[in-house]
Every structure is written in structure tokens, then in C-alpha cells.
Chains A and B, each alone.
Chain A
């Protein structure tokens, strides 16, 4: 498969994987391995002092995977910037998946606060990958302030509903000068393939892999879906038609008229 390039860095995989909600760290590691991914997202939270958990990072091979810290939990630009800076202080490269979701019910991204935070973080030297509503105008605005990608949602986080924003994502893909990563809501390999066939540069998946009895097998399935979709896009899909067009010759039938 052709390489994905984000902020001058090349990746062989076009599937990014989130590390949340897996039944065990081993299930998470297996899913990462089988997905073929090279970018994994992580979150930042307070340490539970009375009950310190096993460190997540001890399970992730940093030579193999680029850690992409998210700013999940941020309700406004200030909180997102604070989380991004904490992640960088923790020794991560300055890559951040910017996420500002004030409403816990639908977890939809706040476009205004996302744009505000993106501007601050870009100026502060971060490589910013913003999670965003599938709004083509916002995608342009984010691109203009210097984000490395745009990450429109297919459907609300964790819903597994697929590309409900398909038409707007098509416009974003048509107009974008930075990679388009479809994030959130992709619940099946066919959803990932659909996004890639449309020309998305990559997809990010978490719940679909974590919330299945066999994350490793589902990760393999998504990997194939992403690869199939990308190859189809690069090859060029045939046009859709209203009227049938025969695949077999329309001459030499065994009849006289």
C-alpha cells in the first residue's frame, strides 16, 4: 500500500488504533499487533493514588508505535491545551489528537473551542490532529491555522454506526490539502473500507476493536478493510449508472431476431 505522510513523517499503515476500553492490556496489545497500526492514541487521567494501576506505557512498544495522546475529557480550549502540554511533558513527541467534547451524552466536538485550541497548539509547536464535526468549512479553517490533518467523525464516538456523515466527508476529502482521517463511529470493516474507497487517507478505530470477544481477529478484519478500500480508491472505482450495462457481449445470441 502507498504510504501515509503526516507532517513529513511516513507510515505504512493507514489504520490508527485507540487503546481504550479493552478487557485487558493483553487484548489491547494483540489488537494493535494484528491491526498493523503504527499510531496509537492514549488518554491522560489523574493517578488513582490509593489504587495505582499498572502503567499502560509498559505494554506499548514505543519503538514500534507512535503515541498520539488525546485531549479527551477537555471541555474547552484551555483544558485541551493543558492536557496537550502535560502529554508533552511526559516525554511524548509533540503530536496530539485534539479533542474538545463538552457534552458527555453525544461527545460531539465543539468546533469553536477546537479551532481556538488548534491555533494555540500549532503556535506552540505541536503536530495537531483535530477531531472535528464533519464540517467542510471548519476543516478549511483548521487547515488554515496549520493542523497536520483533519479528523471528521463518521458518527458519534463509540456508536459503531458507520459513515453517517458521508456526504460532508466527501466534500472535506475533495477540498483538503492535509490528510483526512475519519475518526469515530466506524463499527465494521466495511465502514472503514467505505471511508477509504471515498479517498480518506486513514481511519481511527477503537470501540469496534475493544468491544468484541476477539479483538485480534477484528483488528485483522479492519486491516483488510482499510487496505481493500485504499487499493480500490487508488485503482479508481468505476462510475455508477442508472441503466444496466451488459458485461457479456450483446451479439451472437442463439436466436434469429
Chain B
């Protein structure tokens, strides 16, 4: 399935939910905020949220800043 992740197009086959995708990308789920097609997902909905071909995701984390 074709996904746009952080602005880049990627083919991802091994993920049917957002939780699967984070696992596939080896990202700690409690450290990452996910926006799916401009909708912010709560952390407890990652498992239940299914991905579809053409979805656009933003994966965001905290970094140092002033």
C-alpha cells in the first residue's frame, strides 16, 4: 500500500493499522504523535485505526527547543 509519511511517499505492505506501522518503523508508540489525513489520533486509537492506500500521515515527536 502506498502511504505518504512525513511528506515522503512509501510502499508499506506489512502494516494494516497505525500501531502496525509504528512497529514496522521501530518507533516507540508512546513517544510519537500521529496525524492521519490531518486528523490527530489519540494514542489509544493506534491499534484500532486501519490504514488505507493513499493515506497521508505525520509522525511527530518532541525535540529540544526554546
Among residues 41 to 66 in chain B, which have CB atoms less than 8 Å away from a CB atom of chain A?
A: 41-43, 58-66
Q: A49-B6, A49-B25, A89-B40 are in contact. Are A42 and B65 (CB under 8 A)?
A: yes
Which residues of A in the span 175-224 have a Cβ within 8 Å of any Cβ on B? 184, 204, 206-207
**A22 on the B face (CB < 8 A):** yes
Interface residues of chain A: helix, strand, loop or mixed (majority): mixed
A19's partner among B41, B61, B66 (CB-CB below 8 A) is B66
Residues of chain B within 8 A of A207, CB atoms compared: 66
Within 8 Å of chain A (Cβ to Cβ): is B1?
no
Is B64 within 8 A of A19, CB to CB? yes
A77 to B33, CA, bound (A): 20
Task: Flag if A52 contacts B66 (CB, 8 Å).
Answer: no
Q: Is the CB of B43 within 8 A of A72?
A: no
The residue among B35, B40, B41, B61 with the most chain A CB atoms within 10 A of its own CB is B61
Q: Is A20's CB within 8 Å of the partner chain B? A: yes
Which residues between 9 and 55 of chain B lie within 8 Å of chain A, taking CB atoms?
A: 25-28, 30-33, 35, 40-43
Cα–Cα, bound, A45→B30 (Å): 15
Between A and B, 23 residue pairs with Cβ closer than 8 Å are A19-B64, A19-B65, A20-B65, A42-B62, A42-B63, A43-B62, A43-B66, A44-B33, A44-B60, A44-B62, A46-B58, A46-B61, A47-B60, A49-B6, A52-B26, A53-B61, A55-B31, A56-B64, A72-B66, A89-B42, A91-B43, A158-B66, A184-B66
Could you tell me which A residues sit within 8 Å of B by CB distance?
18-22, 28, 41-47, 49, 52-53, 55-58, 67, 69-70, 72, 85-87, 89-91, 157-158, 184, 204, 206-207
Residues of B within 8 A of A (CB): 5-8, 25-28, 30-33, 35, 40-43, 58-66
Given A45-B60, A55-B61, 20 additional A-B pairs, CB 8 A: A18-B64, A42-B64, A43-B64, A43-B66, A44-B62, A44-B63, A46-B7, A49-B6, A49-B8, A49-B59, A52-B26, A53-B61, A55-B28, A70-B66, A86-B33, A86-B35, A86-B40, A89-B33, A91-B30, A157-B66
